[in-house]
Amino acid sequence: MKTIIEFIKEHHLLSLSTCKDNLPHCVNCFYAFKEDNFTFIIASDTSTRHIKELHVNPNFSSTIALETTEIGKIRGLQLSGGIQKATTIEKALYIKTFPYALALNPTLWTLHVEELKFTDNRLGFGKKLIYKREEDGVKLTPYNC
């Protein structure tokens, strides 16, 4: 998990996907990462298509990827889970990460990761690490690795 957390902290942009009426939609979002419960905090207005779709279907998928043309350096994270409004603590983390956002008074949301798959070719070609949230919702554990 340490390698995955380091990867997440090296980046700041994720691609968020939603689906409504069998029509997919994708958007890029800056994120703050809350390591203790493996959640991502994003800013997005309630009037956006993706937030409207997440009100109907709160399930999301997301990716964070390293841009490289070198096969041996390919790394990327695929996430899925649910979304809800951010708590006061999560809002504080987002503002600490992106201080300029305070002036925008953004609506903040928390992506609760239920499952993730990390590809890291530095660990071997096509090496994948898969984690799923435990039933009690406390932490992510290795699955079929």
pLDDT score at 64: 96
What's the total number of domains in the chain? 1
pLDDT, tens digit only, all 145 positions of the chain: 888 999 999 999 999 999 999 999 999 999 999 999 899 999 999 999 999 999 999 999 999 998 888 888 888 999 999 999 999 999 999 999 999 999 999 999 999 999 999 988 887 787 788 888 887 766 677 666 4
pLDDT score at 14: 97
pLDDT score at 134: 83
pLDDT score at 8: 95
Domain range for 118: 2-142
What CATH number does residue 41 fall under?
2.30.110.10
pLDDT score at 138: 62
pTM given for the model: 0.89
The Cα–Cα gap between 140 and 39 comes to 11
pLDDT score at 137: 65
